Amino acid sequence: MKWFFRTLIILNILVALFTTGGYLASYLHPERSTVIQSIGLFMPWLLLGNIVFFFFWITMRRKWWWLSLSVLLLGISQIGRFVGFHFKQETHSDQFIVCSYNSKSYNESNRLETFLDEINGQFDINILCLQEISENHLPLLKNSSNLKHTHFHRGKMILTNYPIVAQGNLQFDNSVNGCLWVDLKSGEDIMRVYNVHLHSNRITREAETIMNNIYSDKAQAWTKIRHMVANYQLASVERTTQVIKILEHVDACQYPVLLVGDLNDTPFSYTYQQFSDRFQDVFRIKGLGFGSTYAGALPGLKIDYIFVDERFEALSHQILRTKISDHFPVLSFLKLKD
């Protein structure tokens, strides 16, 4: 049995080291820490591994339980980015509801129709931010929604029942990735909404191949894992440049700012930290349970967010676990502070 416990101890140490590296990724620029950045993809599983090891060593009455417990306590503030313990969800007469959803609907409309039917029956949404749609979907969205004020550009759309007094977009390159913004009139107030879709990791196909071949063709699975990590590392650098452009635009805005969308990055990333330094992640304030928003082949990822500045009050937050797309819709109930 000694060899068995020694093997587990080595595995436990490796899991602890990788988890600690994952914590550091938020604070290290991707160009200087490409390997560490990629750990963020696996942080949900690393955290789970530490929990399993902790309870295993406790059960076996071995002293090694302290290692995983120490690692979990070390990152307790970052774990709160992914796991929420906020049972109190509030409502207010002045609240409004914002929803962000990557519908993965470039080439079909069924997903959007199903989503609209489902969402309209449950919520009275005031601001809907969509990613990965096409111009072909515009008539459907306008006819099937009570949100008559719209702004669309290259795969992204904002729909709202508030009058739009100004609008624009930030285009990073020739791809569909970019950022829309609108200024909305709500009573006597004006607020700005950003709908963001950052550079994709292009890892979906690799992840699907890995899941399909992890047992039947281990060599191909490991090759795909290396490709997936390499793509993520390159994309992390690209997203950093995009975040800088967005935040420079935010700096010039005098209104309360609401920033939502698909960041294609995890809560343990440098990308997330740059936004978190400027905004509040509503999930961290009002989230309950696991914050995963990706429903694709790489489970456990949280990559869709709703951020607000200090002039908003967060009342509640929900992630709808409906597998219409490879993303889950995220909703926040908010109000402007008096």
Q: Are residues 90 and 128 in the same domain?
A: yes
Residue at which a domain ends, from 79, 100, 125 = 79
Average pLDDT of the chain?
A: 87
Q: Is 210 inside a domain boundary?
A: no
Q: Is 214 inside a domain boundary?
A: no
Q: Is 332 inside a domain boundary?
A: yes
Q: What percent of the chain has pLDDT over 90?
A: 53
Query: What is the total count of domains within the chain?
Result: 2
Lowest mean pLDDT of 6-15, 64-73, 165-174, 214-223, name the range: 214-223
Q: State the alpha helices, DSSP H only, in the chain.
A: 2-24, 34-38, 43-60, 65-74, 76-79, 110-120, 138-143, 204-213, 218-251, 270-276, 282-286
User: What values do phi and psi take at 63, rounded to 5?
Assistant: -70, -10
Q: Are residues 245 and 109 in the same domain?
A: yes
pLDDT in tens, 18-34: 999 999 999 988 888 77
Strands 127-131 and 149-153: unpaired
How far is residue 76's CA from residue 310's CA, in Å, rounded to a whole number? 23
Which pLDDT value is given to residue 204?
A: 56
Report the candidate in 67, 17, 74, 24 with the shortest Cα–Cα distance to residue 46. Answer: 17
Q: Would the pLDDT of 189 be above 70?
A: yes
Residue at which a domain ends, from 79, 98, 116 = 79
Q: Are 314 and 308 within 8 A, CB to CB? A: yes
Whose tokens are 């160009």? That residue is 31
Q: Are residues 56 and 187 in the same domain?
A: no
Q: Are residues 162 and 13 in the same domain?
A: no
Q: Are residues 100 and 12 in the same domain?
A: no
Q: Are residues 71 and 23 in the same domain?
A: yes
**What is the reported pTM?**
0.89
Whose tokens are 């550009």? That residue is 153
Report the candidate in 300, 303, 234, 315 with the shortest Cα–Cα distance to residue 275. Answer: 303
Q: Would the pLDDT of 297 be above 80?
A: no
Give the number of other CB atoms < 10 A from CB of residue 293: 22
Higher pLDDT, 205 or 108: 108
Residue 189: CATH number of its domain: 3.60.10.10
Q: Are residues 238 and 119 in the same domain?
A: yes
Q: Are residues 52 and 113 in the same domain?
A: no
Domain range for 21 is: 2-79
Q: What is the mean pLDDT of residues 226-252?
A: 85
Question: Residue 246 corresponds to which tokens in the numbers above?
Answer: 């967005």
